[in-house]
């Protein structure tokens, strides 16, 4: 039987009275990109910090690469790389110097270090800036250097805590490409956390949806979307849709409605059949229809289904693929 890359059983952590995570179970095989998706404060960072041995659990246990995070943290640390939210990168050293220092910390000989740094130079893609002070780097440059540092000792497993939060679309795209490359070409198991639905959808083989400190559902993006069997009719209207919401809810075939300003989203079991009656119903409610379209469920619909609230986090406006 192969050992899972990550195994968490009944994992919990409290801070005084505050329950940060509770009863978290995860089983992540080697080679997978796993996304922990959830809103601010859901508990994602707490899970990652426990798995990286930076925080002790107060309940349950976790094994990473087969080693217990509480009783064998050094064995875990040798097998993982981590680029967490609070990057340690700053200061007077250059990117190249920071990588060389990291190599020394891991006891990597200077000959091997030179070779690895040369390889990682392509990853960080900093050009001439690689030899400039890190304090001059943009957020995206620092994140890429952070990942290169995390990968220097060639760990089979990488933890990325919100790797693209605050990045511009181009840097985000670079990060996505890098995550895919590390996984596909080097076989690195990756656990990443994100608040971005599109990011989890695009990168992760499987997703754990986190809310209020627990995993509320888990599966591939496709499996999760299947939890919402309905179609969604999306209408943009002129005027205030909220004031006539109760009349809209009566439209035949509409199971539930989300109305925000001039946008109406109606869940229906058969979109093709219902779209006409939704259009008529909107007009009968006294609203002028600008456009009406049909879409299949997104992960936000899944989140709504599971938690009763929207996540409301999408990646910018530019399509990133
Ligand atoms: N050191 C701490 N002391 C007290 N409460 C904490 C501590 N660390 C986390 N928490 C609380 O635990 C909960 C989960 O926090 P966590 O940082 O894991 O969430 P998250 O999903 O990673 O959110 P974010 O995206 O904001 O990082 C939050 O309510 C947070 O306030």
- Ligand 1 touching residue 189 (CB < 6 A): no
Lowest mean pLDDT among 10-14, 74-78, 262-266, 306-310: 306-310
Residues 16, 160, single domain; the answer is yes
Residues 108, 95, single domain; the answer is yes
Segment 265-278, tens digit of pLDDT: 998 988 888 899 99
* Domain contains 61: yes
pLDDT of residue 318: 39
- Ligand 1 touching residue 22 (CB < 6 A): no
Helix/strand/coil percent split, the chain, to 5: 40, 30, 35
pLDDT at 315 over 50: no
Q: Which of 141-145, 286-290, 296-300 is predicted most confidently?
A: 286-290
**DSSP annotation of 133:** B
CB proximity list for 142: less than 8 A, separation 6 or greater: 87, 89, 90, 134
pLDDT of residue 257: 87
75-78: long-range contacts, CB 8 A cutoff, minimum separation 24 = 76/52, 77/52, 77/53, 78/153, 78/155
Residues 61, 168, single domain; the answer is yes
Where is pLDDT greater, at 197 or 25?
25
* Domain contains 46: yes
Residue where a domain stops, chosen among 225, 259, 294? 225
pLDDT at 123 over 90: no
Pocket test for ligand 1, best of 21, 24, 45, 161 (most atoms within 8 A of CB): 45
Residues 209, 234, single domain; the answer is no
CB proximity list for 178: less than 8 A, separation 6 or greater: 123, 144, 147
- Ligand 1 touching residue 13 (CB < 6 A): no
Where is pLDDT greater, at 136 or 253?
136
* Domain contains 54: yes
* Domain contains 313: no
Residues 256, 166, single domain; the answer is no
pLDDT of residue 161: 93
Where is pLDDT greater, at 161 or 313?
161
**DSSP annotation of 197:** H
Hey, whose CA ends up nearest to atom 9 of ligand 1?
Answer: 20
- Ligand 1 touching residue 208 (CB < 6 A): no
CB proximity list for 90: less than 8 A, separation 6 or greater: 134, 135, 142
Residue 291, token pair as written in the block: 């456009």
Section 29-44 average pLDDT = 95
* Domain contains 316: no
Q: Which residues are registered as beta bridge partners of 192?
A: 35, 160
pLDDT at 149 over 80: yes
Residue 90 banded pLDDT, cuts 50, 70, 90? low
pLDDT at 316 over 60: no
Residue 86 alpha carbon to ligand 1 centre in Å? 13
Residue 182 alpha carbon to ligand 1 centre in Å? 28
pLDDT at 144 over 90: no
Cα–Cα distances in Å, from 38 out to 86, 178, 192?
18, 22, 11
**DSSP annotation of 94:** B
d(CA 279, CA 283): 6
Average pLDDT of the chain, as a whole number: 89
Where is pLDDT greater, at 255 or 203?
203
Q: How many domains does the chain have?
A: 2
Residues 206, 284, single domain; the answer is no
- φ, ψ (nearest 5 deg) of residue 126: -100, -5
Section 74-101 average pLDDT = 86
**Short-list 280, 287, 292, CA closest to 261:** 287
Residues 136, 253, single domain; the answer is no
Residue 102 alpha carbon to ligand 1 centre in Å? 28
- Residue 303 structural domain: 228-307
Cα–Cα distances in Å, from 222 out to 215, 299, 304, 311?
17, 9, 16, 18
pLDDT of residue 86: 64
Residues 208, 280, single domain; the answer is no
Residues 202, 126, single domain; the answer is yes
d(CA 28, CA 161): 16
- Ligand 1 touching residue 166 (CB < 6 A): no
pLDDT of residue 320: 39
Q: Which atom of ligand 1 is nearest to the CA of 21?
A: 14
pLDDT at 308 over 50: yes
pLDDT at 237 over 90: yes
* Domain contains 318: no
* Domain contains 69: yes
Report the CATH number at residue 192.
3.40.50.300
* Domain contains 264: yes
Residue where a domain stops, chosen among 170, 201, 225? 225
Residues 181, 292, single domain; the answer is no
**DSSP annotation of 262:** T
Residues 212, 201, single domain; the answer is yes
Residues 218, 236, single domain; the answer is no
Residue where a domain stops, chosen among 225, 254, 274? 225
CB proximity list for 76: less than 8 A, separation 6 or greater: 52, 53, 64, 65, 67, 68, 69
Residue 219, token pair as written in the block: 């599966």
Report the CATH number at residue 261.
3.30.70.980
User: In terms of residues, how long is the chain?
Assistant: 321
Residue 78 banded pLDDT, cuts 50, 70, 90? very high
Residue 45 alpha carbon to ligand 1 centre in Å? 7
């Amino acid at each position: 039987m192969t050992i899972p890359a990550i195994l968490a059983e009944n994992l919990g952590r409290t801070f005084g009275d505050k329950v940060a995570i509770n009863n978290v179970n995860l089983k992540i095989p080697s080679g997978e990109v796993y996304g922990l998706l959830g809103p601010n404060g859901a508990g994602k960072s707490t899970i990652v910090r426990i798995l990286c041995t930076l925080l002790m659990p107060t309940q349950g246990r976790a094994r990473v690469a087969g080693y217990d995070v509480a009783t064998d943290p050094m064995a875990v640390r040798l097998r993982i790389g981590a680029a967490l939210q609070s990057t340690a990168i700053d200061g007077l050293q250059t990117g190249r110097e920071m990588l060389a220092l990291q190599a020394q910390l891991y006891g990597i000989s200077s000959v091997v270090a030179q070779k690895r740094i040369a390889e990682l130079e392509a990853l960080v893609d900093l050009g001439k800036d690689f030899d400039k002070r890190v304090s001059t780097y943009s957020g995206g440059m620092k994140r890429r250097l952070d990942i290169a540092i995390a990968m220097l000792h060639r760990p089979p497993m990488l933890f990325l805590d919100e790797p693209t939060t605050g990045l511009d679309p181009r840097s985000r795209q670079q990060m996505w490409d890098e995550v895919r490359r590390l996984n596909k070409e080097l076989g690195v198991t990756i656990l990443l956390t994100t608040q971005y639905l599109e990011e989890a959808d695009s990168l992760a083989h499987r997703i754990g949806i986190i809310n209020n400190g627990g995993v509320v559902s888990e599966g591939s993006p496709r499996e999760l979307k299947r939890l919402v069997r309905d179609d969604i009719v999306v209408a943009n209207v002129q005027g205030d849709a909220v004031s006539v919401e109760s009349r809209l809810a009566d439209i035949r075939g509409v199971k539930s409605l989300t109305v925000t300003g001039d946008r109406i989203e109606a869940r229906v079991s058969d979109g093709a059949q219902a779209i006409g009656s939704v259009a008529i119903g909107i007009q009968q409610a006294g609203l002028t229809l600008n456009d009406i379209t049909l879409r299949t469920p997104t992960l936000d619909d899944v989140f709504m289904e599971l938690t009763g609230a929207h996540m409301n986090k999408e990646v910018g406006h530019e399509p990133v693929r």
